[in-house]
Structure 1
Amino acid sequence: MTGTQHAPAALLSVRDLRVRTGQGRILVSGTTFDLRAGEVLGIVGESGSGKTLTARAVVRALADGVVADGDVTFDGIPLLEAKERELRAHRGSRIAMVLQDPFTALNPLQSVREHLRESLRPEIRKNRAKARSEVARRLAEVGLGPEVADRYPFQLSGGMRQRVAIAAALARDPELLVADEPTTALDATTQAQVLELLRTLQRDRGMALILITHDLRVAFSVCDRIMVMYAGSVLEHAPTERMVQRPLHPYSLGLMLAEPSVTHFQKQLNSVPGNVPSADSVAHTCVFADRCQWRQEKCTSAAPPLVGVESSHGAAVHLSACIRVDDLRDEMRAALSSRAGLDDEPPRPELGTPLLKVTGVSKTFKTASLAGRRKENVALREVSFEIARGESLGLLGETGSGKTTTARCVLGLSTPTSGRIELDEFDISDYRRLSRDQRAQVRRRVQVVFQDPYASLNPSMTVGRALGEAIAAGCPVAAGASGSVAKLLDLVGLPQPYAARRPGALSGGERQRVAIARALAVHPKLLICDEPVAALDVSVQAQILELLRDVRERYGTSMLFITHDLSVVRQMTDRTVVLKDGVIVEAGTTADLLDSPQHPYTQSLVASVPGAGALRARTAPGELTA
């Protein structure tokens, strides 16, 4: 697929890989690629694009009722034709996989030592002394101390759990590692640490790595080559440097333009309109045609093949499945250049009097240890800030910094140990002291949008019923702009027929829109957004962020934006408060704080953002050969 005429043989060769359901419905259509030893391939695309299915098909880990055919060869071994007994000799030992959520991948009843010991080679595992020594060595390799061996998954942070999962996957020194969204749920600094760990281990071992992600910044910072998938098809495949400088498919360009900037405010966040169709429904046309701004009639007459559009030393190195690629090169390059040169001034809204005052709030949790002793965990220490009417305040920090505890105290889901919280004329430091009528008034003034909309919606309740209940709870305050289900759906950009659907029939972005609509039903003065786009694809992220901007502008809603994503902070907030270990270490206008961070912790957060800056710097103009 790529490289020079004398490139070494591929460790993994995939030809015309197709994945179907037992009923014949197409899920992945004709994927072809090679992966050499020591190489990192990034597979990117939105949810439903076929990334994970492709990887699972390669390692023969598909769910029951899903079948794959084609030619998948690993070091000369035909994997799809191999019997299960043959596969067991390669899974874990030569081919390993790291999943997105390490907590579900680890047994909560087993210690870290037991997890790693089970993953070791039999001759080491059976020798107690050797196994103990090897477990310590494997933990050290992923940056964990020997004391971690006797802990259980629930006693570890998300980043530590992911490191344990990586150590277990590498325990038999595989030649190929498949990492499926390994950093999606992690905060910025932990994400950077895990990515650097993966890259270092991969280089030191000469191991091949397939990294599946919807985050282009992650892919650009780690991968040698990028393969862009959409609706079960590969639309573009190129070395990372080429993809960064000039994507040659409209979908790849759309994903790059949809990434919110960390360094500059954007007046308009870009997104790819619409949703990913099923692979089966677009099998005989350009799969991206319905969402492409450059579509012509000829684009839908047949499925465009993935062909080489740029070469080096006589071999195709940049492939695209767009039949108009030659016509669109200049337009796509101009669009990317204009995005790279953006420098919009952030808005400076006229702010009213303080709506929320948090003064000297501390929170200590008391838990019982295994020995029966009471243990104190200080989650917040003397936290103070204000949010003015119409203002958006960012609450930034890593996992465990106290962001969500702060929000829970404001929402009355947790009571501060000390300090005072005021909302309008109400003292909400302890919701138990409020009368029933006062609590109802406070609930109408402050609402929340959580990270996982599916978990916050009743799966058995239709959208219309859920919104109807929220409207009824908010009357008469909700009367007016948010006075009906139809108006609420229109406010969040959903068609009225969606009122009859249940959460399971909606995409992630659609469910989040419903969650936002429900929160807005009572027309709150303060909307708390707790990582509202962390689990969404980049294009859907942009749509939801634009929706929240519109809500704020239309109704003057104040917002408390809790996130670990610096690009979200840049685009959505006026001021930002940085929390570390429950203490505010820095606060100021968002632009000043991100452009000139003063505290070492804030500086580390800014420095940890993955991106393509280093790639742009190392790739000299004119270096690429068309």
Structure 2
Amino acid sequence: MTATEPQTTAPLLVVRNLRVRTAQGRTLVRDSTFDLAPGEVLGIVGESGSGKTMTARAVVRALADGVIAEGGVAFDGSSVLDAKERELRATRASGFAMVLQDPFTSLNPLQTVREHLRESLAPDVRRDRAAARTEVVRRLAEVGLQPEVADRYPFQLSGGMRQRVAIAAALAQDPDLLIADEPTTALDATTQAQVLDLLRKLQRERGMALILITHDLRIAFSVCDRIMVMYAGTVLEHAPAEMLERAPRHPYSLGLMLAEPSVTHYQERLSSVPGGVPSADSVTRRCAFADRCQWRQDRCTDSAPPLVDIGSGNDVARHTACVRAEELHDDMDTALHSRAAAGDTPPAPVLGEPLLRVVGLGKTYRTASLLGRNKETTALQGVSFDIAQGESLGLLGETGSGKTTTARCVLGLSTPTTGSIELAGIDITDYRRLARKQRAGVRRLVQVVFQDPYASLNPSLTIGKALGEAIAAGTGNESAVGSVDDLLDLVGLPRAYAARRPGALSGGERQRVAIARALAVGPKLLICDEPVAALDVSVQAQILELLRDIRARYGMSMLFITHDLAVVRQMTDRTLVLRGGEIVEAGATEALLDAPRHPYTQSLVASVPGAHAAAEPAEPVADAR
């Protein structure tokens, strides 16, 4: 994948000294300055809380009530921040538009796709019923969807299809600028590649400017012309994508790049940026990144370093806000090149007897249609596998492949239609047939960590109370952890966190609590269902390292469910590839990813942005229906 070539014309968007603050005076973004040319793609990257989304929303004046933007923002020569609301209405439709991370929340579940798109069309087209119908079909075709999709509701579409509809609605009045805020974060690998290919294709064909907000640097490098790295509300580095990928010139940019788990080789130690993002107000008079930087010196905290051009006299401008950029040149290059060198050898797992045995697992759902007829949907068919004591098995596949259904059957949250499941010698195919005491014992043998830790924790309970309840449930199991303090120590959280509630914790801290709760009963098998999919790249590395450490310390077995090939590479011994509820390929993880044999597995590997991606766009696999 190659980035588009920017056009050398007058800027379409000019942002000067942009500041975003709350009505109470808390700073969210400070002194952001950049230009965007017609047809250019700008990536904005950084961790949660860095100011990426606030910057984008300020540019189009779509901030929430009580949030104020100041400074200069000019779009196509006209001021955005000074314009009256009625003057912005036309510009918001035909000048710029946004695509959000979760298309389901941006689509009305009570409206069909046709109604969504019709409402997005220009008023003169919208009022002409025949013209609107024709235009809806044309817009759907532009994003690769068939005409019959127009009569479906959002819940009847896959994630990728919903995102395509959201893109079609955003482009309905042919804007000059599209802002895409994490448009592929919730999508699996192949669907992600398809959506990115679609955005790139539409952007090129239209000559449209694009701002892509993402925390995935692989995506940014594969799509963008330039990348702006934000942290604590300020810009730390701004450079051409190829130049930044080859040689970052700010320690934070380097830290983000090193924290990306490799998809091409195993890493004995996953790198992360220690600590968390500070508030913008707390670092206004110093380098914002100093407290997390391994190369910090006293002068880094004497004053806030300006964003300066270090282009070395060539025609290409690149900026960094690091006072030591030049003297750290060689150290940062060495760190980056060391990461790119040949990987470590995965450790040989010490395996015991089979702990989990799944044979011929099948699951069929029956639902009644509006006409009263029963409809059958096969979610799993003939799935068989073992997990040995101490082994980590990956379940890899796109949304709808049957990964989570498999886990639900093992956990007793769903009863399989056919097949059998045995855990530690106990038949757990149907939890309803187990005696109460036996069922409680099985629950202590297998636990789960979900994708969204906030949804899995009771917001009204303190961390200490939630962990205490879990410890009580593990009574009688000699492997159970003895106290709340022990659990917090185990997952690397301060003991004082026992008094806090989930809402006071960051996403990574909440996930550590969720892991602690799962470990409280001393399980033999831990099911991890996309446990890092919603986390920033640096926090992701910390959680993966924590799970590795727990597995090594306790000899715990793991069933690791993910659509991320890099996570599979780093966390599993063997991998099963599921598609349409069936296993299409299985084997040692390293061999399976290095030399996939099934066309579907090959398409998954080819869908990864960056060095491992195919030169041509991935063929549609999931949404071509």
Range of TM-score over shorter length: over 0.9
For residues 478 and 46 of structure 1, the distance between their equivalents in structure 2, rounded to whole angstroms, comes to 40
Do 1:244 and 1:612's aligned partners in 2 also have CA atoms closer than 8 Å?
no
Task: For residues 419-464 of structure 1, give each alpha carbon's deviation from its aligned partner in whole angstroms, at most 9, with x where no partner exists.
Answer: 0000012100000000000001100000000000000000000000
For residues 431 and 135 of structure 2, the distance between their equivalents in structure 1, rounded to whole angstroms, comes to 52
- How many angstroms does 1:476 deviate by? 2.5
Corresponding residue for 1:516? 515
Do 2:464 and 2:499's aligned partners in 1 also have CA atoms closer than 8 Å?
yes
Written as runs of structure 1 = structure 2, the 5 A alignment for 1:573-592 is: 573-592=572-591
Corresponding residue for 1:89? 90
Corresponding residue for 2:436? 436
Q: Secondary structure at the match of 2:503?
A: helix
- How many angstroms does 1:317 deviate by? 1.2
Q: Secondary structure at the match of 2:398?
A: coil
Do 1:221 and 1:612's aligned partners in 2 also have CA atoms closer than 8 Å?
no
For residues 553 and 92 of structure 1, the distance between their equivalents in structure 2, rounded to whole angstroms, comes to 54
For residues 281 and 439 of structure 2, the distance between their equivalents in structure 1, rounded to whole angstroms, comes to 51
Q: Is the counterpart of residue 548 in structure 1 residue 547 in structure 2?
A: yes
Q: Secondary structure at the match of 1:347?
A: coil
Task: For residues 554-579 of structure 1, give each alpha carbon's deviation from its aligned partner in whole angstroms, at most 9, with x where no partner exists.
Answer: 00000000000000000000000000
Corresponding residue for 2:253? 252
Task: For residues 276-297 of structure 1, give each alpha carbon's deviation from its aligned partner in whole angstroms, at most 9, with x where no partner exists.
Answer: 0111111111000000000000
Do 2:392 and 2:572's aligned partners in 1 also have CA atoms closer than 8 Å?
yes
Do 1:214 and 1:538's aligned partners in 2 also have CA atoms closer than 8 Å?
yes
Do 2:181 and 2:212's aligned partners in 1 also have CA atoms closer than 8 Å?
yes
For residues 89 and 148 of structure 1, the distance between their equivalents in structure 2, rounded to whole angstroms, comes to 28
Corresponding residue for 2:364? 364
Give the partner amino acid of 1:393: L
Corresponding residue for 1:317? 317
Task: For residues 164-216 of structure 1, give each alpha carbon's deviation from its aligned partner in whole angstroms, at most 9, with x where no partner exists.
Answer: 00000000000000000000000000000000000000000000000000000
Q: Secondary structure at the match of 2:63?
A: coil
Corresponding residue for 2:264? 263
Written as runs of structure 1 = structure 2, the 5 A alignment for 1:409-420 is: 409-420=409-420
Give the partner amino acid of 1:111: T
- How many angstroms does 1:479 deviate by? 6.1
Give the partner amino acid of 1:514: V
Give the partner amino acid of 1:23: Q
For residues 106 and 404 of structure 2, the distance between their equivalents in structure 1, rounded to whole angstroms, comes to 25
For residues 397 and 479 of structure 1, the distance between their equivalents in structure 2, rounded to whole angstroms, comes to 33
For residues 528 and 565 of structure 1, the distance between their equivalents in structure 2, rounded to whole angstroms, comes to 16
Written as runs of structure 1 = structure 2, the 5 A alignment for 1:124-523 is: 124-311=125-312, 313=314, 315=315, 317-477=317-477, 482-523=481-522
Give the partner amino acid of 1:217: R
Written as runs of structure 1 = structure 2, the 5 A alignment for 1:20-169 is: 20-169=21-170
Q: What's the TM-score, normalizing by structure 2?
A: 0.96
For residues 437 and 278 of structure 1, the distance between their equivalents in structure 2, rounded to whole angstroms, comes to 50
The structure-2 alpha-carbon separation of the partners of 1:615 and 1:20, relative to structure 1 and needing over 3 Å to count, comes to farther
Give the partner amino acid of 2:344: D
- Between 1:356-365 and 1:603-612, the stretch displaced more is 603-612
Give the partner amino acid of 2:362: S
Do 2:606 and 2:614's aligned partners in 1 also have CA atoms closer than 8 Å?
no
Do 1:308 and 1:316's aligned partners in 2 also have CA atoms closer than 8 Å?
no
The structure-2 alpha-carbon separation of the partners of 1:153 and 1:164, relative to structure 1 and needing over 3 Å to count, comes to same
For residues 96 and 544 of structure 1, the distance between their equivalents in structure 2, rounded to whole angstroms, comes to 35
Do 1:241 and 1:615's aligned partners in 2 also have CA atoms closer than 8 Å?
no
Task: For residues 344-401 of structure 1, give each alpha carbon's deviation from its aligned partner in whole angstroms, at most 9, with x where no partner exists.
Answer: 1111112111000000010000011122211000000010000000000000000000
Q: Secondary structure at the match of 2:401?
A: coil
The structure-2 alpha-carbon separation of the partners of 1:117 and 1:478, relative to structure 1 and needing over 3 Å to count, comes to farther
Give the partner amino acid of 2:606: A
For residues 112 and 372 of structure 1, the distance between their equivalents in structure 2, rounded to whole angstroms, comes to 25
Q: Secondary structure at the match of 1:598?
A: coil
Q: Percent identity?
A: 76
Give the partner amino acid of 1:216: L
- How many angstroms does 1:316 deviate by? 5.4
Corresponding residue for 1:621? none
For residues 135 and 464 of structure 2, the distance between their equivalents in structure 1, rounded to whole angstroms, comes to 57
For residues 543 and 529 of structure 2, the distance between their equivalents in structure 1, rounded to whole angstroms, comes to 13
- How many angstroms does 1:123 deviate by? 1.1
Q: Secondary structure at the match of 1:512?
A: helix
Give the partner amino acid of 2:469: E
Give the partner amino acid of 1:592: A
The structure-2 alpha-carbon separation of the partners of 1:330 and 1:615, relative to structure 1 and needing over 3 Å to count, comes to farther
Do 1:136 and 1:149's aligned partners in 2 also have CA atoms closer than 8 Å?
yes
Corresponding residue for 2:536? 537
For residues 120 and 569 of structure 1, the distance between their equivalents in structure 2, rounded to whole angstroms, comes to 43
Give the partner amino acid of 2:401: S
Give the partner amino acid of 1:60: R
For residues 547 and 182 of structure 2, the distance between their equivalents in structure 1, rounded to whole angstroms, comes to 26
Corresponding residue for 1:570? 569
Q: Secondary structure at the match of 2:294?
A: coil
Corresponding residue for 2:619? none
Give the partner amino acid of 2:584: V
- How many angstroms does 1:129 deviate by? 1.2
Corresponding residue for 2:622? none
Do 1:467 and 1:517's aligned partners in 2 also have CA atoms closer than 8 Å?
yes
Q: What's the TM-score, normalizing by structure 1?
A: 0.96
Q: Secondary structure at the match of 1:31?
A: strand
For residues 305 and 99 of structure 1, the distance between their equivalents in structure 2, rounded to whole angstroms, comes to 31
For residues 523 and 217 of structure 1, the distance between their equivalents in structure 2, rounded to whole angstroms, comes to 37
For residues 179 and 550 of structure 1, the distance between their equivalents in structure 2, rounded to whole angstroms, comes to 36
Q: Secondary structure at the match of 2:311?
A: strand
Give the partner amino acid of 2:407: A
Give the partner amino acid of 2:67: V
Give the partner amino acid of 2:438: Q
Across the aligned residues of Structure 1 and Structure 2, the Cα RMSD in angstroms comes to 1.6
Aligned residues: 613
Give the partner amino acid of 1:517: A
For residues 612 and 17 of structure 2, the distance between their equivalents in structure 1, rounded to whole angstroms, comes to 34
For residues 89 and 166 of structure 1, the distance between their equivalents in structure 2, rounded to whole angstroms, comes to 18
Do 2:479 and 2:523's aligned partners in 1 also have CA atoms closer than 8 Å?
no
Do 2:607 and 2:613's aligned partners in 1 also have CA atoms closer than 8 Å?
no
- How many angstroms does 1:613 deviate by? 6.0
For residues 258 and 425 of structure 2, the distance between their equivalents in structure 1, rounded to whole angstroms, comes to 44
The structure-2 alpha-carbon separation of the partners of 1:209 and 1:438, relative to structure 1 and needing over 3 Å to count, comes to same
Task: For residues 217-275 of structure 1, give each alpha carbon's deviation from its aligned partner in whole angstroms, at most 9, with x where no partner exists.
Answer: 11111101000000000000000010010000000000000000001000000000000
For residues 367 and 348 of structure 1, the distance between their equivalents in structure 2, rounded to whole angstroms, comes to 45
Do 1:181 and 1:211's aligned partners in 2 also have CA atoms closer than 8 Å?
yes
For residues 37 and 282 of structure 2, the distance between their equivalents in structure 1, rounded to whole angstroms, comes to 33
- Between 1:15-24 and 1:303-312, the stretch displaced more is 303-312
Task: For residues 36-56 of structure 1, give each alpha carbon's deviation from its aligned partner in whole angstroms, at most 9, with x where no partner exists.
Answer: 000000000000000000000
